[in-house]
Structure 1
C-alpha cells in the first residue's frame, strides 16, 4: 500500500479534532481553486473569440469540456484514490491543472485550447476536488455535516474572487499571461494535498480493500486451473473476462440500480436534462452584458455577486435541509430551487441594464445555492448508502454529457440568430421542464408507494428510504465511511 493509501481505503477511527481542522482549511482552499475556477472563463470569452476568430459555438466548447470532465471524471478519480490514496490524487490533480493552464497560454488555435485548458485542466480539477472531499469523510464523523457545509464556502469564495482577479489580470496582461499566472495559482492544490496526510488506524492494522476486477478475473482462472485443467478453455477464459468487466461496471456504474429503482431513474434523468441549461448563464452572462453596453469590469462583477451571496446562502441551505422537518421533502425543495433558477432567466430577457442584472444575479444565486446544497442530499435519499458511490458514478457521467453539449448547441443557436436572448430562453426551458418532471414524478411515485406499502411498513421506522423500491437497512453511525466516495458539487 502506498503511504497515502490509508485515507483512500478508509480508517477505523477518524479524528474530529486537531489536524482534521487543518485538513478542513485545506479543503476550503481546494474547493475555491477547483470548483470556483470554471465560472470565471466567461470573462475571457470575447477576447478568445477575437484572438482565434471563432464563433460562439466554437468558443463555448472550451469551458464546456472543462466542466464536463470536472464532473464526469468521478469514476476515474475513484479508481485513483482507491489505488494510491487521496493525498496522491489531490497533488496529481494540482500538477495536471497547473500544467494545463500553463500550456494553454502558448496555444495557437482554439482546438489546442480544448485539449490543454479544457481536458487536461478539467481532469486535474476533478482529481483535486473529488479526492479532497473524500478525505473529509475520514477525518470527520461527528462534525461531518458541519465540515462539508464549511468546505462548500470555498466554492463561493472562489466564485467571488476568480472573476475579479481574471478581469484585472486580463486588462493588465492579456489572456495568455493571465492563463500562465493561473497555472501557477492552481499548483497550490499540491500544497493542499500535502496537508491531507493519511488517517492512521486506531489498531495500527492495514485496512482491507476489496479485490479489483482484474484480481477477480485471475481468481476465476486460478479456480479453473485447480480443477485439473492444464490451461483454461478459450470460452471459459473469455467468460471470466466478461465477468470481471461486468463486476467493474457494477462497482463504479450502477446500471442495476438504474433499472430497478424508479426513484433513482427519475432523478438521474431529471438532473441530466436539467444540466443542458444549468451552466448557460455562467458562460454567456458576461458576453451578454458586454454586448448590451455594460463595462467589462462591471460585467465581471456580476459573476462575483453570485459567488458572494453563495458564501452565506449555500452553507445555510445545506444545514437547514438536514433538519428532520425537510427529511421527506428534499426532492420538492430541490425541484422548487430548479424552478426558481429557470424562472429567474426571464429577468435578463426583460432588460440588460446593470441594475436589472444585479437583481437577476441575486435571485439566481439563491436558487443556485439550493440546487448545490440539495443535489446529493436527494441522491442519498433515493439510493442505499452502501451503493451510493456506484450510483454517483453513473449519475455524474450522464450529467457531464449534457454539460458538454449544452453550451455549444446554444452557442450555435446564437450564431444563427445573433441574439443572446435565446441563451436564457433555452436555459429556462430545460430547467423548468426538469423541475416539473421531477416534482410531479416523485409526487406520483410517493403516492403509489404509500398506497402499496403503508400497511406493511411500521409507522415508527422513519429510517427507511422514502423513494427507494429496494429495501434498505439503517447503518450504524459508528461504521466507517465507504471505501470510495467521490462527490461533485454545483
Structure 2
C-alpha cells in the first residue's frame, strides 16, 4: 500500500485550515525576527567602531559572521528537525539567539562579539528560521505555495521595523542596553515554536521525529543484538563510507558535478553574494559619514524593507506566469543586473533625496532576487535532491557572505573612500548576472543542437522501420501466423 493511501481521509483536516493559519502567522514573525534582524546591524557600526577603536574591516566581521552562520547552519538544522522535530528546533534557536544577544551586551572586545552576537545568535536564528519554514510543508498541502509567499513577507516587515526600533533604542539607551533588549525580543521565537503543535496524520506526527525507513537486514540485526549476539561484520559500515553517505545526503556534490544548470547557478550565486550584502551593511555608515542625520540614515533601510512588502509578492506572481516557465533565470539575472547598476546612484551623490531614490530602485531589484532565488533552484534541480542541493548552495553562499564585507571594509580603510563599497558591489552583481545569463543561454543552445542532431537519427530509424514493414511478406522472415478470435 502506498504511503498516501495509508493516511486516512480525516487526517488531512488538520492541514490547510484552522490552526495551520496560526502557524503561518508564527512563521511570518519568525522570518521578521531572524532574516530581518541583520539589516539593523549597520546602525550600530559607528558606535562599535568608536567604543572598540576598530577599523571598518574589523567591525564588518560581526555582521558577516552572523549572516554566514544563519545560512550555513542549514544541514545541522535538518539533522535537528529530523531527530527532534520542528517545534524543538525553533525553540532551541530562539533560546540561542537570546543568549547570544544578552551575552553580547557584556562584551569588552570585538572578538567576544564575533562569538556571541555573530556565531551564537546567527546559529540560533538559523535553527528558528529554517525549522519554521520546514513546518509549513506539514501544515499546508493545498495552499502550500500561498503559505510560502505570505511567510516571505515577514522578511520585509523585519527590514522595515528593525532599523527604526534600533535607532530609537540606540539614541535612548546605547548599544549595550539595546542588545540586552534585543535578547528579550528574540525570545519570542520560542513562543512561535510553541505554537507549532504536532499535526496528527494516521498514528504518527509529522512534526515529531520520524524513524527512518528500515534498511535491508536491519530488523534481523536488531533481533540478534537484543539476544546478546554480535552483528554481522558486513552490517557495520566503515566510518569513511558513513561520512560519504552523509555528505551525499546533505551536500549534493554529485548533483554539482553532473547538473550543469545547478553548477552554473551555484557558482554565479556564490560570486554574486560577495557583493550582494555590501549596501545593507555600509549604507547607513556611508550616509552618516556624508553628513546625513543618524535618524534619517536609519530610515533608508526601512524604506528598502517597506517597498519589499509590496514588490516581493508581485514578483512572485509575475514569475508564475506561463511566459516565464523555464525562463525565470533570466528574470532573476535582470533583477541582479538592476541591483548592480543602482549602486552607481550612491556614487553620484550622497544627498538624502538621492539616497532615497537609490533605496527605491534597489528595493525593487532585490525583491526580484529574494523572490526568485529558491524558485530558480527548484527549476534546475530535481525535487528529490532539492534538500541536499540547498545544503551545498547555502554553505557556498555563506562563505561569500562571510568574506565579502570584511574585504570591502579593508578597501575602505586603505582608500578612506566609501565609494569602494558600491563599486565593488556593482562589479560582483553585474558580472554574476551576465555570467549566469550567457551561460544558461549557451546551455539552452547546446541542448537544442543536441536534440536537433538526435532528430535525424530518430527519423531515419522510423523510415527504416517503415521500409522493412513495407516489404512483401514473402521476402521477410516472419513468425508463424496465429489465428485468434476476438469479440469487438
Mark yes or no: TM-score above 0.5. yes
Aligned 8 A contact 2:83 2:210 in 1: no
Q: Is the 8 A contact 2:199 2:205 kept in 1?
A: no
Greater shift, 100-109 or 315-324, is seen at 315-324
Aligned to 1:281: 279
Match of 1:387 in 2: 385
Ranges in structure 2 where 5+ consecutive residues have no aligned partner: 1-10, 456-488
| Alpha-carbon distance change, 453 to 13 in structure 1, aligned in 2, over 3 angstroms | farther
Question: How far off is 1:453 after superposition?
Answer: 2.8
Report the equivalent of 2:293. Answer: 295
Pair 1:246–1:295, CA change in 2 (3 A): same
Structure 1 residues 456 and 26, CA, compared in 2 at 3 Å: closer, same or farther? farther
For residues 221 and 415 of structure 1, the distance between their equivalents in structure 2, rounded to whole angstroms, comes to 65
1:148 counterpart residue number: 148
Whole-angstrom CA distance in 2 between matches of 1:70 and 1:240: 32
2 CA distance for matches of 1:166 and 1:59? Answer: 18
Equivalence for 1:122: 122
CA contact (8 A) 1:104 1:116 kept: yes
CA distance change for structure 1 residues 247 and 298 in 2, over 3 Å: closer, same or farther? same
Give, in whole Å, the separation in 2 of the partners of 1:69 and 1:217. Answer: 37
Residues 31 and 152, structure 1, Cα contact 8 Å, conserved in 2:
yes
Alignment of 1:336-375 (within 5 A): 336-375=334-373
Change in CA separation of 1:290 and 1:242 when aligned onto 2, cut-off 3 Å? same
Aligned counterparts, 1:27-426, within 5 A = 27-201=27-201, 203-205=202-204, 209=210, 211=212, 240-426=238-424
1:323, CA displacement in angstroms?
2.2
CA distance in 1, matches of 2:235, 2:147: 47
Confirm or deny: 8 A CA contact 1:217 1:240 kept in the other structure.
Answer: no
Provide the residue aligned with 1:465 in structure 2: none
Q: 1:436 to 1:389 in 2, by over 3 A?
A: same
Post-superposition Cα deviations, 1:467-486, rounded to whole Å, max 9, x if no partner, equal: xxxxxxxxxxxxxxxxxxxx
Question: Could you report, residue by residue, the CA deviation over 1:74-103 in whole angstroms, capped at 9, with x for unpaired residues?
Answer: 000000001000010000000000110000
Q: Distance in 2 between matches of 1:55 and 1:283?
A: 14
Shift of 1:232: 7.5
Indicate the structure (1 or 2) with the bigger Cα radius of gyration. 2
Root mean square deviation of aligned Cα: 2.4
Q: Quick one: distance in 2 between partners of 1:299 and 1:170? A: 13
Q: Looking at both structures, which has the greater relative contact order when contacts are Cα pairs under 8 Å and sequence separation is at least 6?
A: 1
Decide which moves more: 323-332 or 304-313.
323-332
Give the total of aligned pairs. Answer: 439
Partners of 1:105 and 1:327 in 2: how far apart? 49
Label 1:242 to 1:305 Cα distance change in 2 as closer, same or farther (>3 A). same
Q: Deviations over 1:261-289 (max 9, x none)?
A: 00000000000000000000000000000
Structure 1: how far apart are the matches of 2:404 and 2:28?
A: 29
Q: Deviations over 1:363-383 (max 9, x none)?
A: 000000000000000000001
Deviation at 1:316, TM superposition (A): 1.4
Aligned-partner Cα distance in 1 for 2:109–2:159? 28
**Deviation larger for 313-322 or 439-448:** 313-322
- 2: CA distance between counterparts of 1:76 and 1:205? 24
Structure 1 pair 218–408 and aligned structure 2 pair: CA distance change class (3 A): farther
Structure 2 match to 1:476: none
Does structure 2 retain, via aligned residues, the 8 Å contact 1:217–1:241? Answer: no
Cα distance in 1 for residues equivalent to 2:427 and 2:204: 54
Separation in 1 of the partners of 2:356 and 2:390?
34
TM value normalised by structure 2: 0.86
Matched residues in 2 for 1:414 and 1:291: separation? 12
